[in-house]
Amino acid sequence: MKMMCVSGCGGVCMSLALAVLVLNALDQAAGDPRAQTIDVTCGAVLEHNTTIFVPNFVSTMEKISEQMRTQGYGQAVTGTGADTNFGYAQCYGDLSLLDCVLCYAQARTVLPKCFPFNAGRIYLDGCFMRAANYSFFEEYKGKEDKAVCGNATRKSGAFQQSARQAVAQAVLDARSKGGHGKAHWGTANESVHVLADCWNTLNASSCKACLDNAAASVLTCLPWSEGRALQTGCFMRYSDTDFLNQVAASRRSSGSVVVIVVSVVSSVLVVAVGILIGLYIWKHRIIQKKRRGSNDVEKLVKTLHDSSLNFKYSTIEKATDSFSEANKLGQGGFGTVYKGVLADGREIAVKRLFFNNRHRAADFFNEVNIISSVDHKNLVRLLGCSCSGPESLLVYEYLPNRSLDRFIFDSSRGKALPWDKRYDVIIGTAEGLVYLHETSSIKIIHRDIKASNILLDSKLRPKIADFGLARSFQEDKSHISTAIAGTLGYMAPEYLAHGQLTEKADVYSFGVLVLEIITGRQNNRSKTAEYTDSIVTQTWKHFQEETLEDLFDPNLRLQSHHNTSAEVARVVQIALLCTQELSSLRPAMSKVLELLRKPDEPLPAPTNPPFLDEGTMELHDSVDHPAIRRYHISSNSVNDISHSSFYPR
């Protein structure tokens, strides 16, 4: 690296020279973190108490993180009794602290996939991590011990002999160097490279026993070119490629150099050092990106950075009093929602998605990406999110009356929603959907319109929530073919049967929602309840028999008079237009809103709805309606069908 000194700036040049030394030290420390996952093994016992287990696990990972940054291994215990979490992580001896942190960061995002089981272990090519509800720190063997062999290339007898010698040498090297050993054996054209590492929690005799077991295990992979022994207390690998980091720098050396430089350079000069270090980090990230390729996490981080939506995990944790049970608003299949109060006094609702994994990360990214791009009075407002901690967090405005289902399906709370309020909820929800389908810069299909995803503010005004399943829609396409996702009872027949998604799927769901608002009955209620037909089927029968008032929520019947009953009946007919079997006959949401707002405009007669047996997910022919087509859906074709209901899902 060349430098040019300007007269009078000798101090700056000296600082830059020191900075170059820092960068060189960092470059030497930065090798390959080898963060490829080799094996993940989960326990067989379910966690004892989710509300205690999750915070304990998170706390254990945070404690270990602090240790990994300074010493390359970490050990922590959090909690008491059945919910105690014991954790351990260690990087292999040839990794620098920088690479160690990168490897551990990968491990801590993968291991939580074992949830809801209370134990798990993960072996990466550069580090190891384990968590359980008992003290395992001194264990060196177990029934999970195994060899993982790479069988791409069969090697010669000479290689096999070299491998045995190299493994034996690595064991001796590890025993004499505190548990970390390595060896190279053979000729330049036929060499073997071996790494051996004991966990630092083992004593010398346990380490020796573990390495002996690992050596016997890994050699069973011969004659193949690659072998790994995944032991309870140690790790061993041989390969015909040199996978070891070439510079065995001290794990503390680069940090010490940085401390020295910072301590002797003035505050003005530190800026120059910081710029150069920033350039190094940028360079390193570019290299890592090329190694791993782009992914959803990188896209999400960029989105957060560009939109200033990012919250620190610690900020949200403090706002919710460490996600205390007292602040819990609800729970469902995607996680839990908590009330929180920020330092500036703002009330928030935090949607906590348990643990990061590829599928949930995609939903998280999708929700952030879509809801941050829209703005409407009838859509819930996203304040921010956090993806830097062990869980994904979405931060919404807090709506004190929570979700609509708490009112319309509760006879007592339902009294707070007379017809005029329910009508306003219907209008507001329709306006929100018109915006998503026709007014926003991109057409958005929500895919999960239901009462639990309609939130109410202090004045009982509606806001559509939960965009995790939403999809943007290109104008030049008639439909999207996609995996089925949503909630049974609210999904349109063509989408349920064939995965063909258009905005008419939201129209159908809206129609079901309107019928629930008017009747006070939940459409996906169990068949063991007092009524068995779907609310759509029941309404269709009463419509034909001109007995719609029999279906009205008792709270509406008590409040209604003749004019109100006629208005409610008209809205029921609009809902039936929305739930017609043929999607082509359903009106667009803008037309639905027009019909709702113009009580004098004539309504067309609705055709029959689909007749769905939710127990078999089959749309049946009917004696009364012979024109109905028959669909059948295999249960294996349905993805992400949800019965969850909380604030918001």
Instruction: Return the closest-CA partner of residue 489 out of 530, 454, 535.
Output: 535
* Structure tokens, 350: 């935090």
Q: Which helix (H) or strand (E) holds 471?
A: strand 471-473
- The DSSP 8-state label assigned to residue 265 in this structure reads S
Lowest-confidence pick of 113-117, 276-280, 319-323, 625-629: 625-629
pLDDT band at 165 (very low <50, low <70, confident <90, very high): very high
443 and 561 in a single domain? The answer is yes
Answer with the one of 577, 597, 617 that is the final residue of a domain.
Answer: 597
Alpha-carbon torsion, ordered 40, 41, 42, 43, to 10 deg: -160
Assess if residue 246 is contained within a domain. Answer: no
∠ Cα 204 210 214 (to 5°): 140
Lowest-confidence pick of 7-11, 140-144, 423-427: 7-11
pLDDT band at 621 (very low <50, low <70, confident <90, very high): very low
pLDDT band at 532 (very low <50, low <70, confident <90, very high): low
pLDDT band at 637 (very low <50, low <70, confident <90, very high): very low
pTM score, whole prediction = 0.52
Q: Give the long-range contacts of residues 210-219, CB within 8 A, separation 24 or more.
A: 210/140, 210/141, 210/234, 211/171, 211/174, 211/175, 211/236, 212/171, 213/140, 213/141, 213/145, 215/167, 215/168, 215/171, 217/145, 217/146, 217/147, 218/147, 218/167, 219/163, 219/164, 219/167
Q: Which helix (H) or strand (E) holds 463?
A: strand 462-464
The boundaries of the domain holding residue 229 are 146-239
Assess if residue 256 is contained within a domain. Answer: no
Concerning whether 448 is annotated as a catalytic residue, the answer is yes
Compute the distance between CA of residue 543 and CA of residue 607 in angstroms, rounded to an integer.
11
Compute the distance between CA of residue 548 and CA of residue 611 in angstroms, rounded to an integer.
19
Contact between 208 and 190 under an 8 Å Cβ cutoff? The reply is no
Assess if residue 464 is contained within a domain. Answer: yes
Amino acid 334: pLDDT: 60
Compute the distance between CA of residue 373 and CA of residue 468 in angstroms, rounded to an integer.
14
Residue that has been written with the tokens 């010698």 in this structure: 165
Amino acid 595: pLDDT: 96
pLDDT band at 115 (very low <50, low <70, confident <90, very high): confident
Q: Which helix (H) or strand (E) holds 575?
A: helix 562-578
Lowest-confidence pick of 49-53, 118-122, 173-177: 49-53
Distance from the first to the final alpha carbon of the chain = 54
Q: Could you tell me which residues are annotated as the binding site for ATP?
A: 351
Domain count, the chain: 4
∠ Cα 516 518 524 (to 5°): 15
∠ Cα 552 431 384 (to 5°): 115
Alpha-carbon torsion, ordered 426, 431, 433, 435, to 10 deg: -170
573 and 551 in a single domain? The answer is yes
215 and 79 in a single domain? The answer is no
Contacts of 4 (CB under 8 A, 6+ apart): none
Q: Could you tell me which residues are annotated as the binding site?
A: 351
420 and 342 in a single domain? The answer is no
Contact between 367 and 320 under an 8 Å Cβ cutoff? The reply is no
Q: Where are the alpha helices (DSSP H) in 383-492?
A: 405-408, 419-434
Answer with the one of 132, 156, 185 that is the final residue of a domain.
Answer: 132
Assess if residue 306 is contained within a domain. Answer: yes
Compute the distance between CA of residue 626 and CA of residue 308 in angstroms, rounded to an integer.
56
Amino acid 524: pLDDT: 62
Compute the distance between CA of residue 190 and CA of residue 458 in angstroms, rounded to an integer.
75
Instruction: Return the closest-CA partner of residue 29 out of 101, 132, 136.
Output: 101
* Structure tokens, 408: 């319309």
Instruction: Return the closest-CA partner of residue 68 out of 32, 36, 108, 97.
Output: 97
Instruction: Return the closest-CA partner of residue 75 out of 133, 139, 130.
Output: 130
172 and 304 in a single domain? The answer is no
448 and 543 in a single domain? The answer is yes
As a whole number, the mean pLDDT across the chain is 77
55 and 186 in a single domain? The answer is no
Assess if residue 570 is contained within a domain. Answer: yes
Amino acid 203: pLDDT: 95
Assess if residue 121 is contained within a domain. Answer: yes
- The DSSP 8-state label assigned to residue 393 in this structure reads E
381 and 420 in a single domain? The answer is no
Answer with the one of 397, 416, 451 that is the final residue of a domain.
Answer: 397
Contacts of 520 (CB under 8 A, 6+ apart): 408, 409, 411, 414, 553, 554, 555, 556
Domain CATH code at residue 151: 3.30.430.20
Query: Using only C-alpha atoms, what is the Rg of the chain?
Result: 31
Q: Quickly count: other Cβ atoms within 10 Å of residue 403's Cβ.
A: 26
Please report the DSSP string for 205-238 in residue order: HHHHHHHHHHHHHHGGGTTEEEEEEE-SSEEEEE
pLDDT band at 119 (very low <50, low <70, confident <90, very high): very high
Q: What are phi and psi of 87, to 5 degrees?
A: -135, 150
Question: Coil, helix or strand for 346?
Answer: coil
For the chain, the residue count is 649
Residue that has been written with the tokens 């208005």 in this structure: 567
Average pLDDT over residues 173-196: 90
Amino acid 419: pLDDT: 94
Average pLDDT over residues 85-100: 92
Spell out where 79-223 has E strands: 85-91, 120-124, 127-132, 146-154, 180-186, 191-198
Amino acid 202: pLDDT: 95
Amino acid 308: pLDDT: 62
332 and 452 in a single domain? The answer is no
Amino acid 340: pLDDT: 95
Assess if residue 279 is contained within a domain. Answer: no
Please report the DSSP string for 186-211 in residue order: E-SSSEEEEEEEE-TTS-HHHHHHHH
Half-sphere exposure of 313 (CA within 13 A, CB side): 12
Domain CATH code at residue 380: 3.30.200.20
pLDDT band at 179 (very low <50, low <70, confident <90, very high): very high
State pLDDT tens for residues 288-305: 444 443 455 555 555 555
302 and 213 in a single domain? The answer is no
Compute the distance between CA of residue 354 and CA of residue 271 in angstroms, rounded to an integer.
39
Active-site position among 83, 448, 466, 553: 448
Compute the distance between CA of residue 309 and CA of residue 396 in angstroms, rounded to an integer.
11
Q: Where are the alpha helices (DSSP H) in 235-374?
A: 253-264, 267-292, 296-307, 313-319, 358-371
Assess if residue 339 is contained within a domain. Answer: yes
393 and 491 in a single domain? The answer is no
Assess whether pLDDT exceeds 50 at residue 591. yes
Residue 448 to residues 33, 155, 469, 584, 642, Cα–Cα distance (Å): 41, 56, 7, 20, 9
- The DSSP 8-state label assigned to residue 610 in this structure reads P
One-letter amino acid for residue 467 of the chain? F
Higher pLDDT, 623 or 185: 185
Please report the DSSP string for 420-441 in residue order: HHHHHHHHHHHHHHHIIIIISS
Contact between 396 and 381 under an 8 Å Cβ cutoff? The reply is yes
Domain CATH code at residue 460: 1.10.510.10
Contact between 219 and 163 under an 8 Å Cβ cutoff? The reply is yes
419 and 518 in a single domain? The answer is yes
